[in-house]
Structure 1
């Protein structure tokens, strides 16, 4: 027992002696730090918009505990970069300890303001120690100037609000936004446009976009086109399919690569009831919530939207939604989305020729088919109201996806329901046809499903990148109707298709 007590006492003495040490002994750094990067590139940002946070890891490979005498930005407090070292924010730091065989994270952000320039390379130096022992890591950011459009604020600091929708009870739904002024109704390709809130095209006005125009939308932002107003997107065919130099592009305002394929970054485009003669040519629209929502008026006397040579993809809900709308589309790609790629809702009149409708969404459960068509809508009180589906014509189209059934019909049995699929490839599970409306899925009927191929192999190039070009093994090759193809002799890339037309927006050709 005495020996046991003596052992406990010695152990306690050893612990108390060690705990009395007030500090570790650190050797100064002698310029022998190692780093996870030799340069920190902060991806392209817009002037006045903060970057994402980037990291640099600093290693002490030695067997000694060291102290880094100085960590800081060469431009000091005037630098537009911001640092966080070991959980502390600042621009300069002194005597930072780093244990032997240990590492340290430094987090870096920036916000840069530019004037009178289109693009600018903003740089600074992250310094470790000074004098002969100095080590340096360059910081590099490409800053792009832009035209910023945003809501005004009143005397109380409150943002200007605009009506963007109406709820089920008829109450207005408002959001921060502003009406575009007369001198803001022509978007050129000289500088990109960055929109905060909802940009509204006023009644009796039209917004014109030149070839090569770029429009970036901040989070929860979008565009609304009022009744008797219109949107004119005048893009053109590009020679470089990576740069898309002549195409008009709508997307979110985060330029970092990790945001390149993130759905739901902005709200989308709303063509309000009474807005007509909207025309879109060579537009790429991506990463919205609802890409384009087009609400037609009941008379359907003129097209709500004419869209050609365009692609809409990676919307968190729906890429193209027509509600009692009159839509004409040619050479259109509506790719993956969190719900339907294309939604023809509450009747209307629709004509889609040489269109690729393909939904290979993998980010979450997708509740609906790539193509959804109906002529009625619930009113939220266990009732529904309907409108005539004057026509829903699909010619030389592809309706495909990674789901079991990529076409969905919904007829109330009272309003007109007219549709045609002519020379289309349609992906369905014929063993799972809905019994309630099975008459709408009679794929052997050569009147409503004329010359259509059911469950053919599409064989796209890369569905996860929304690249829906056809490959040489696709069963969609050479089976298009020639008369319908003659009306659109060139595909979305300008390739001639009149001899043996393929289905969809792309005509297959062998790459060099």
Structure 2
């Protein structure tokens, strides 16, 4: 009985209380809204590519529930911005309600065609406003977007309908239809300049026996699942030059994704790879920055050519979700190469091949999850789906005056399937290496660090003293164990470091001569 009486009294109180509330009595706004920002910068976008979604928070700090008579874009239906207000999409809205001491989210996007404007000169600053209410109560929030013009390479040749074509590749003289989206570059597309950025959808294939030349200062941006393929008999020549401004990198060739917003600046895996097919020849990359790929550089085949299949110099490779450089029974030479932050290995020479790196910094400070492999992985085999191994020669793998380090241990693995008919040749000379085998997991002649056939003049497990590994700043400081440890023979071969500083007098290990870091406050 008491429980029934309590329920009756409670129900009666709720009915009386609710009848006194003013939940549905909204007063007109009085121009006293507050905003999370007075200007929304949507960062830089390429023409006709949709932006990320940005948000604006609108606050009602008054004691009254209010209704905003109108929320709209100043340019109305012609605006290149799009809004979502309280779950509704559009460009103008009426009677938007906000409870007392509550707030409202507005989401903003844009897609802008730079060709709609007069004399954009490569970039155009597009602006609009969100207007709240009208007359004396009107309040405004500015919208700003910088639009960048570009040269677009779509799978279809007309660049109009964006029809996805299946890419057919010439592999070893045989035409092979792939499941890749993309097309071969046309003759007039085989020189990339620095006039405008290039935005590539799908794979841009260099046709057999042709050369894609990329001039100093060029900028290449790849959409998701996109990249470059260098076909049988074809070549890629990246002709970057030293940049005096190391923030702008005005003369380097830069490869990255097509999202220009700051939040995407260091996100791995935004595009696929630059892939040198078996049969491609005389590929060179000089003064390039390659970042945010899945596999930045993938090279297949041609291990026994008189010249290297791929030569990389003065190049930085960062934030690869799988491998920075992956070689598969191929030949790669590198000087002043810097690789960091890869989901697996920064450098992997697999299925044998021929690899030579001098004065390079090959490290891995991946912090986006667990990685299975070390900074440098060498092996001489591949396993098929039945776990049957194909074994080939590791003809040579030489690392001279290099730094091989990272946030795991050990940072080198020499994974050999022994076969009397197969060679497994490697040598680390005057390198700083992280290799500490506390549990004796790595045994056998490949891990005999006293064997001068494989290891000579190296320094193990001492600190390289990098400036900032998270920001890919791998210059070494005054306290680095790499200082003055370089062999002059190799320094003479590569007399200047990646910043064009002469190293021949007292060579440090890696791609950089050391500097004095500024003291922290």
TM-score by length of 2: 0.93
1:208 partnered with 2:213: yes
Are the structure 2 counterparts of residues 14 and 295 from structure 1 closer, same or farther at C-alpha, using a change threshold of 3 Å? closer
Could you tell me which residue of structure 2 aligns to residue 29 of structure 1? 29
Could you tell me which residue of structure 2 aligns to residue 444 of structure 1? 450
CA contact (8 A) 2:297 2:325 kept: yes
How many residue pairs end up in the alignment? 508
RMSD: 2.4
Are the structure 2 counterparts of residues 337 and 204 from structure 1 closer, same or farther at C-alpha, using a change threshold of 3 Å? same
TM-fit CA distance, 1:412 = 1.7
TM-fit CA distance, 1:14 = 5.6
Please give the per-residue CA displacement for 1:276-329, whole angstroms capped at 9, x wherever unaligned: 100100010001001100112253333110110001111000000111111111
TM-fit CA distance, 1:2 = 10
CA contact (8 A) 1:164 1:224 kept: no
Please give the per-residue CA displacement for 1:26-51, whole angstroms capped at 9, x wherever unaligned: 11111110111011010111000011
Aligned with 1:152 (options 135, 149, 156): 156
Could you tell me which residue of structure 2 aligns to residue 420 of structure 1? 427
TM-fit CA distance, 1:64 = 0.8
Are the structure 2 counterparts of residues 44 and 62 from structure 1 closer, same or farther at C-alpha, using a change threshold of 3 Å? same
Tell me how far apart the structure 1 counterparts of residues 303 and 355 of structure 2 sit (CA, whole Å).
14
Please give the per-residue CA displacement for 1:236-256, whole angstroms capped at 9, x wherever unaligned: 010111110000000001111
Could you tell me which residue of structure 2 aligns to residue 244 of structure 1? 249
Could you tell me which residue of structure 2 aligns to residue 467 of structure 1? 473
TM-fit CA distance, 1:267 = 0.2
Tell me how far apart the structure 1 counterparts of residues 337 and 193 of structure 2 sit (CA, whole Å).
24
Tell me how far apart the structure 2 counterparts of residues 36 and 382 of structure 1 sit (CA, whole Å).
58
Could you tell me which residue of structure 2 aligns to residue 84 of structure 1? 84
TM-fit CA distance, 1:183 = 0.6
Aligned with 1:193 (options 193, 198, 204): 198
CA contact (8 A) 1:164 1:175 kept: no
Are the structure 2 counterparts of residues 422 and 139 from structure 1 closer, same or farther at C-alpha, using a change threshold of 3 Å? same
Tell me how far apart the structure 2 counterparts of residues 60 and 439 of structure 1 sit (CA, whole Å).
73
Which sections of structure 2, spanning at least 5 residues, go unmatched?
Answer: none
TM-fit CA distance, 1:511 = 6.3
Are the structure 2 counterparts of residues 333 and 12 from structure 1 closer, same or farther at C-alpha, using a change threshold of 3 Å? same
Which sections of structure 1, spanning at least 5 residues, go unmatched?
Answer: none
| Secondary structure of the corresponding residue to residue 477 of structure 1 | coil
Pairs within 5 Å for 1:106-125 = 106-115=106-115, 117-125=121-129
| Secondary structure of the corresponding residue to residue 367 of structure 1 | coil
Tell me how far apart the structure 2 counterparts of residues 337 and 165 of structure 1 sit (CA, whole Å).
30
Pairs within 5 Å for 1:246-395 = 246-297=251-302, 299-395=304-400
| Secondary structure of the corresponding residue to residue 8 of structure 2 | helix
1:455 partnered with 2:453: no
CA contact (8 A) 1:300 1:348 kept: no
With 46-55 and 14-23 compared, the bigger mean Cα shift is at 14-23
| Secondary structure of the corresponding residue to residue 107 of structure 1 | strand
Are the structure 2 counterparts of residues 301 and 19 from structure 1 closer, same or farther at C-alpha, using a change threshold of 3 Å? farther
Could you tell me which residue of structure 2 aligns to residue 142 of structure 1? 146
TM-fit CA distance, 1:454 = 1.3
Tell me how far apart the structure 1 counterparts of residues 21 and 482 of structure 2 sit (CA, whole Å).
78
TM-fit CA distance, 1:487 = 1.0
TM-fit CA distance, 1:201 = 0.4
Tell me how far apart the structure 1 counterparts of residues 46 and 307 of structure 2 sit (CA, whole Å).
39
Tell me how far apart the structure 1 counterparts of residues 13 and 378 of structure 2 sit (CA, whole Å).
81
Tell me how far apart the structure 1 counterparts of residues 162 and 37 of structure 2 sit (CA, whole Å).
43
Please give the per-residue CA displacement for 1:127-147, whole angstroms capped at 9, x wherever unaligned: 000111110010000110100
Are the structure 2 counterparts of residues 432 and 9 from structure 1 closer, same or farther at C-alpha, using a change threshold of 3 Å? closer
